[in-house]
Structure 1
Amino acid sequence: MSALMDGANDLGRRVREERGRRGWSLARLAEVSGVSRAMISRIERGESSPTAVILGRLSAALELSMTELLAPADRAAPDRVRRAADTPSWTDPGTGYLRRQISTPGFPADVTEILLPAGTRVPMPAASFAFLAQLIWVLDGELTLLEGTTAHRLTAGDTFELGRPQAREFVNDTTGTCRYVVVAIRKATA
């Protein structure tokens, strides 16, 4: 289960709080996110842990990065040093996709390490990129980033700046784990 939060109940409370803050019903969040009311209800009750795809859809609908959605609502001032053992993480229960939150809440950029297991595909909707500027930096392995019919093959040391918002798929079609970093900042709004 997640070390970013104290379990599925915390993520559920966070989704419920964000939905309530907007005055949205379950039906409204389901409509905006494309996630069923039943699934959102199970997540909010702590009965289900979402996959990365569902988490991406919810974060896009709520206009929060996945990190912001996973972060506890009560953000105490972090220490300047965080030990590896204390680094929050979240694992997709369906694929084993692992997110380790490198930056602390309040840091100007959201820095996340991703471990993408061999043979894994993680699609993300365009809306999850609409309010963020993001840079991908591959540390180990190979990552194929699909944008429509265009495939960008990245290997260790390569970087890729995500452009205009569009549906993307992060693919590891190799036999080894791919490790990459995502650096994200919220775009200025007019």
Structure 2
Amino acid sequence: MGELEERLAVRLAELRAERGWSLEELAARAEISRSTLSRLERAEISPTAALLGKLCAVYERTMSRLLAEVEAEPPQVVRAAAQTVWRDEASGFARRSVSPPHPGLRGEVVEGTLRPGADIAYDGPPVPGLEQHIWVLEGAVEITAGGQEHRLEAGDCLRFRLWGRSRFHCPGPGPVRYALLVVLP
């Protein structure tokens, strides 16, 4: 397990402790088993994108904000070599924090890559009303938001405020690469 995953495990335990929640209470709120949460907080397992999505919703944070909380103070210029990349090999999702969250700023830029066949569903937004702009750079993706499915191809941009469930699916035949601009409400 890498250093980022270990710091993430510590931060997740801190967030639960800050709220005074037991593992049982968090398990009920996030609909994740107590044993999985315990192993996650002890850095025995790496979280999947879906698991992190559920925890972010419970803690009312974007995934980027949570990951930024475990990084050092971000610089104003983020060089390509310094951009944090998180991978969920199980789902085929890679996430590069191009412009990570920063205190006093409401927006961030993320590069996402999904391999062909990847299908990730989120139960709800980490922050209700989260504004997202998704610009497809290469390939194609099917995105469901607000109960409506959109097929996007290279050059297309989808923008919306997220209130409910969402889903990202890469129909193939190749991977999809997209830029995601996230703006807090």
Asked whether the two chains share a fold, i.e. TM above 0.5, the reply is yes
Query: In 2 relative to 1, CA 74–167 (structure 1 residues): closer, same or farther, beyond 3 Å?
Result: closer
Name segments (4+ residues, structure 1) moved above 4 Å: none
Structure 1 residue 74 displacement after superposition: 6.3
Q: Does 1:150 align with 2:148?
A: yes
Matches within 5 A, 1:39-78: 39-73=36-70, 75-76=72-73, 78=74
Name the residue aligned to 1:169.
167
Cα distance in 2 for residues equivalent to 1:163 and 1:7 = 29
Q: Does 1:37 align with 2:34?
A: yes
Structure 1 residue 73 displacement after superposition: 4.2
Cα distance in 2 for residues equivalent to 1:8 and 1:14 = 10
Query: In 2 relative to 1, CA 132–143 (structure 1 residues): closer, same or farther, beyond 3 Å?
Result: same
Query: What root-mean-square deviation, in Å, do the aligned CA atoms of Structure 1 and Structure 2 show?
Result: 1.9
Cα distance in 2 for residues equivalent to 1:21 and 1:128 = 18
Structure 1 residue 95 displacement after superposition: 1.9
Structure 1 residue 129 displacement after superposition: 5.1
Structure 1 residue 94 displacement after superposition: 0.8
The residue identity in structure 1 corresponding to 2:114 is L
Cα distance in 2 for residues equivalent to 1:68 and 1:129 = 11
Query: In 2 relative to 1, CA 74–115 (structure 1 residues): closer, same or farther, beyond 3 Å?
Result: closer
Moved more, 130-139 or 175-184: 130-139
Structure 1 residue 149 displacement after superposition: 6.0
Give the aligned length.
183
Q: Does 1:24 align with 2:32?
A: no
Structure 1 residue 186 displacement after superposition: 1.6
Cα distance in 2 for residues equivalent to 1:148 and 1:162 = 9
Cα distance in 1 for residues equivalent to 2:83 and 2:152 = 26
Query: In 2 relative to 1, CA 164–115 (structure 1 residues): closer, same or farther, beyond 3 Å?
Result: closer
Q: Does 1:98 align with 2:94?
A: yes
Structure 1 residue 93 displacement after superposition: 3.1
Q: Does 1:84 align with 2:83?
A: no
Structure 1 residue 87 displacement after superposition: 0.7
SS in 2 for 1:71: helix
Query: In 2 relative to 1, CA 30–184 (structure 1 residues): closer, same or farther, beyond 3 Å?
Result: same
Cα distance in 1 for residues equivalent to 2:25 and 2:161 = 29
The residue identity in structure 1 corresponding to 2:54 is R
Name the residue aligned to 1:128.
126
Query: In 2 relative to 1, CA 62–137 (structure 1 residues): closer, same or farther, beyond 3 Å?
Result: same
Structure 1 residue 130 displacement after superposition: 1.4
Cα distance in 2 for residues equivalent to 1:19 and 1:125 = 20
Q: Deviations over 1:37-82 (max 9, x none)?
A: 1111111000011111111001011001001222244642x33322
SS in 2 for 1:184: strand
Q: TM-score, normalised by structure 2?
A: 0.90
Q: Which runs of 5+ in 2 are unaligned?
A: none
Name the residue aligned to 2:109.
111
Name the residue aligned to 2:8.
11
